[in-house]
Chains A and B, each alone.
Chain A
Amino acid sequence: MSTTFPVQQTAKRGQWREGSGAKLWLARNASQLALAPSVAIILLAVYGFMVWTGVVSFTASKMLPTYEFVGFDQYWRLWSNPIWRIAVDNIFIFAILFIAIASIIGMALAILVDQKIRAEGFFRTIYLYPMALSFIVTGTAWKWILNPGLGIERMVRLWGWDSFRFDWLVDPRFAIYTLVIAGVWQSSGFVMALFLAALRGIDEDITKAARLDGAGSFQIYRRIIIPQLGPAFLTVFVILTQQAVKSFDLVVALTAGGPGNSTHLPATFMYMQTFGRDQMAVGAASAMMIFMTVTAVVAPYLYSDVRKQRDDT
């Protein structure tokens, strides 16, 4: 254990007494020991499996893993697959729009709900409930709503607006944006809750003082309140980023990658190659690309967080 975890340097302070060695050692390293099982299991189940996936990506594995190595062939195969390139473009479009819109709408909802309204709990629950449902549950309903022949477009036309069009779901150029809509619907309520909690934590005296100085509401939010939401923004960013990277059910339920393979994301591509196309190694190669991208996006956040904590202590 002590090789994994730098032992706290307390022994040299002379507090160590003879006789109760083992017990004292346990007490002194209680924190490390408490973390040890988690660290061990995450080392295996996250990092170990990542390494394993990396190994498989260099093999010729098809249905089941084999260990016949073929160098970078699978990566070449991966990048020559037009659908993978679509999936890569899509994840950036999707993640950026999803994170931005869900944050903005979540923030707007939080501000609206924060206006001393009646039935706040009622509204809050409605905005939050999509979080409780998976797309296995709501997928069919979403498909109907977004389908021009069944859902919103048909409804609006029945109301008399004959030229109304909302056919993104069936248009390869726009279908990816319907995924953003459904994704935002699911997650923006949670973002609202995060921001709302942060809003309520802000010292009222400051805003009162600003009001006395004649600042308008808009200015108060822009200059005083929103800048104080920094930590909440970071949490929102982590939660939304992990949701964007893992988006899978959303695609399966709404478009299954269509129309014309225009809405695949790396996760669905990886699943399809591994289990639908007997190309486990190509799937593994795509998984490695996902890992690398996530690391590139997340590492700066983790680094700054670790740095900040180190400065604090």
Chain B
Amino acid sequence: MLNRNLVLATALLLSGSTSMALAGGPNVEVMHYWTSGSEAAGLNVLKKLLEERGVTWSDSPVAGGTGMNMVQVLRARIASDTAPAAAQMHAQQVQAWASEEVLTDLTDLAKKDDWAKVIAPELVPLISHDGSYVAVPVNVHRSNWLWYNKKVFDSAGLQPPTTWDEFNEVSEKLLAKGVTPLALGGQPWQELDLFENAVLGIGGADFYRKAVIDEDEAALRSDTMVKVFDQLRKMNKYIDSNYPGRDWNLATQMVIKGEAGMQIMGDWAKGELSLANLQPNVDYGCVPAPGTKGSYVWLTDNFGFFKTKDKDKQAGQLAMASAILDKGFQEAFNIKKGSIPSRIDVSMDKFDFCGKAAFADRAEAQKSQKSLPSLAHNAAAGATKTGVFTDVVSTFFETPSVTSQQAIEQLVTGLKSAQ
């Protein structure tokens, strides 16, 4: 059969030139979506550290779809029985993979390196499954930040808002001055960011737990939730009309240029701000989002390791897991990424003002039980339920005809069918 012979011949010819074989010794193939700029620079520190320790790093970046493309590729790799040694995952994704029983047990290493003492305690339940450690947290981002342009605020004689009512007052004043009060990108996750900050800012930490983490129907149907959606509706007029689909960094640009006064965004926004040579506390300010002072809404990136029988790969996995919690790496990576270490005992001297503030706020929030997982970044709920929140909030926010009551109704029915 001519056709088949051709296929075979070509396959043989090519397998030589494209073989995936790595040099002997410990190695690790790392799948991640940190494909550019500050995040790739941060990960490069880890690669160098591992190479110093004799581990070969094989890079498998998959960008796009806020991580969804990587999830797709990872599933295909697992379906074809060629799982990568390590893959980046958000907190709830760790849990999802762990329940598929594909992640390597890291408990021995965790005991040896005393993870229970050094990792931020709120992360521990999400990186362990059935009493074993199954993933390592690289960083902790904070999603309840409000970034504001200091020059705009100073010239208008305004103080950054500390409650949502103040936020509305400040916004009206900015509107009167011809400045767009809030810079927003109309992508579902950015709208969900606003939502989670409104839930926390208006309802408080306990309400956040009930509504977002437990998806308690009474909390979802409460008047507080109506207020949250009403606040979102109000914010429709505090943003410009061209926001749908805008990337978060273009929204940050609006704050940088002074076209907009504020942005509610995780601390990766610092990368964009420092690239424009703006200084914290001079050109821009960072304060907790309205009504969320004392709380710390976190999201983490973790690496999980897929089970393998290959001894070299196993060695590479353990080396990588250990290196991620290396103090030097935690410091270098998180300065580059704009996040703070997942360890609680890293020196913060070299971090910028906002980084130090985040670290101090986290320590305080841990004591007062106000350190909360982010809904918008797969820390609070699994993918299916997060998806229901995403769909309802995004549709509500961008469709003025939907009422707060309707949105709540959609949330409740959607969450029920997601069981």
A148 CB contacts on chain B under 8 angstroms: 241-242
What is the minimal beta-carbon distance from B311 to any residue of chain A, in angstroms? 26
Residue pair B78, A143 in contact (C-beta under 8 Å): no
Once bound together, how far apart are the Cα atoms of A167 and B65, in whole Å? 24
Residue pair A167, B245 in contact (C-beta under 8 Å): no
Residue pair B242, A261 in contact (C-beta under 8 Å): no
Residue pair B398, A260 in contact (C-beta under 8 Å): yes
Stretch in contact with the other chain, from A43-51, A238-246, A270-278: A270-278
What is the minimal beta-carbon distance from A63 to any residue of chain B, in angstroms? 6
Residue pair B245, A172 in contact (C-beta under 8 Å): no
Residue pair B72, A271 in contact (C-beta under 8 Å): yes
* Chain A residues numbered 261-302 whose CB sits less than 8 Å from any CB in chain B: 261-262, 271-272, 274-279
A contact residues, range: 35 or more
Once bound together, how far apart are the Cα atoms of A261 and B1, in whole Å? 50
Residue pair B3, A38 in contact (C-beta under 8 Å): yes
Residue pair A258, B186 in contact (C-beta under 8 Å): yes
Q: Does B382 have its Cβ within 8 Å of any Cβ on chain A?
A: yes
By beta carbon, the residue of chain B nearest A80 is B417
What is the minimal beta-carbon distance from B295 to any residue of chain A, in angstroms? 27
B52 CB contacts on chain A under 8 angstroms: none
Residue pair A77, B383 in contact (C-beta under 8 Å): no
Residue with the greatest number of chain A CB neighbours at <10 A, chosen from B68, B188, B242: B242
* Chain B residues numbered 164-204 whose CB sits less than 8 Å from any CB in chain A: 186-188
Q: Does A83 have its Cβ within 8 Å of any Cβ on chain B?
A: yes
Q: Does B79 have its Cβ within 8 Å of any Cβ on chain A?
A: yes
Once bound together, how far apart are the Cα atoms of A254 and B4, in whole Å? 41
A149 CB contacts on chain B under 8 angstroms: 240, 242
Residue pair B410, A259 in contact (C-beta under 8 Å): no
A167 CB contacts on chain B under 8 angstroms: 241-242
Q: Does B391 have its Cβ within 8 Å of any Cβ on chain A?
A: yes
Q: 8 more A-B contacts (CB under 8 A) besides A33-B1, A37-B3, A62-B384?
A: A34-B3, A170-B242, A255-B244, A257-B188, A258-B187, A272-B387, A275-B68, A278-B96
Closest 5 CB pairs of A and B: A260-B398, A259-B244, A149-B242, A277-B387, A275-B72
- Can you report 16 A-B residue pairs in the complex whose CB atoms are below 8 A from each other? A34-B3, A63-B96, A63-B97, A77-B417, A80-B413, A143-B245, A256-B245, A260-B244, A260-B398, A261-B391, A261-B395, A271-B68, A272-B387, A275-B72, A275-B75, A279-B387
